Amino acid sequence: MAFAETLVCVFNATFGNVFLYHFPRSFLAHTSICRLGAVIQRTSVQFSVSSAVSFTIDRCIAICCQKLKTKYCTKRNAEFIISTVCAFSFLTHVPAYFQYESLYVVDGVQWGCRTITQYYSSPAWQTYRWLSNSLVAYVPLPLMLLLNYLTARHILMVSKARRALKRHGCGEVRDLEMTNRRTSIVLLFAISGTFIALWPPAMIIGFFLPNSSQSLPTTTGSHCSWEIESQFC
């Protein structure tokens, strides 16, 4: 998850906001680089979201499903899930490369990126946009809420049962299992809570302004211009 968040900081914050603003005449303004950057930015966001969901599922199984825990929580499964999430995040946003076209052509060199007109009218592109938005927020958010609810309910029920056993003469022995579960639930809620708190504003903007975009300043002298689409468009 730390690696996924680092990718978001590097490609979405540094590349998407810093370099494109302060270095408008660099090689980053080439259409091919711009289109590739759009794919990488969306892939990094999808990878971050999918990692958060995978972690939530992992904690839910580890805490609520003791029988499944021994088979599921293994190094081999962890490596497989991480690899699958990486491949899935990339493949689902490959079409974003073809979403853009050049803004200018100077001496046979394509500069800048702008969304093709078919993106807002073609049923295929509308389907892709709907699936992309669903995978990024509309599906993960309710899923994480449900899993967190099930995990928290299970922990409260187990805690209540263990306290009842202690009152009936089981002593004051330190409960290491509950200590570990409390640590897991704090970490889980911290990660899930951050995701749940930050994504609804973007979801609301994307729902009411589906065609919104943010255009960067145009450098007409060098014909280096581009258009940066929001995540929900």
Cα–Cα dist 21/19, whole Å: 5
- Taking alpha carbons only, the member of 38, 137, 135, 49 closest to residue 95 is 38
DSSP conformational letter for 167: I
Cα–Cα dist 231/200, whole Å: 13
- Taking alpha carbons only, the member of 63, 233, 59 closest to residue 137 is 233
Mean pLDDT of the chain: 76
172 vs 164, residue with greater confidence: 164
Count of C-beta atoms within a 10 Å radius of residue 34: 22
180-194 burial: b if 16+ Cβ within 10 Å, else e:
ebeebbeebbebbee
Condensed to tens digits (0 to 9), the pLDDT of residues 30-57 reads: 888 888 888 888 898 889 888 888 888 8
Condensed to tens digits (0 to 9), the pLDDT of residues 168-183 reads: 655 555 566 667 767 7
- Taking alpha carbons only, the member of 194, 196, 165 closest to residue 178 is 165
**So what's the pLDDT on residue 16?**
67
Angle at 75 between CA 51 and CA 145, to 5 degrees: 30
Condensed to tens digits (0 to 9), the pLDDT of residues 79-107 reads: 898 899 999 999 999 998 998 888 888 88
**So what's the pLDDT on residue 177?**
66
Three-state DSSP at 109 gives: strand
Phi and psi dihedrals of 224, rounded to 5? -100, 100
Q: Which residues contact 16 (CB under 8 A, 6 or more apart)?
A: 37, 41, 228
218 vs 186, residue with greater confidence: 186
Cα–Cα dist 24/222, whole Å: 9
- The answer to which of 12-16, 55-59, 201-205, 225-229 has the lowest mean pLDDT is 225-229
- The answer to which of 30-34, 140-144, 188-192, 223-227 has the lowest mean pLDDT is 223-227
Residues 181-206, mean pLDDT to the nearest whole number:
73
Cα–Cα dist 36/90, whole Å: 12
**So what's the pLDDT on residue 84?**
92
Local confidence band at 74 (pLDDT 50, 70, 90 cut-offs): confident
* pLDDT > 50? residue 224: no
Local confidence band at 144 (pLDDT 50, 70, 90 cut-offs): confident
* pLDDT > 60? residue 188: yes
**So what's the pLDDT on residue 167?**
66
**So what's the pLDDT on residue 221?**
33
* pLDDT > 70? residue 143: yes
Local confidence band at 207 (pLDDT 50, 70, 90 cut-offs): low
72 vs 36, residue with greater confidence: 36
Residues 46-69, mean pLDDT to the nearest whole number:
85
Angle at 163 between CA 162 and CA 167, to 5 degrees: 115
Report long-range pairs for 200-207 (Cβ below 8 Å, ≥24 apart). Answer: 200/141, 202/137, 202/231, 202/232, 203/137, 203/138, 203/141, 203/232, 205/230, 205/232, 206/133, 206/137, 206/230, 206/231, 206/232, 206/233, 207/232
**So what's the pLDDT on residue 91?**
92
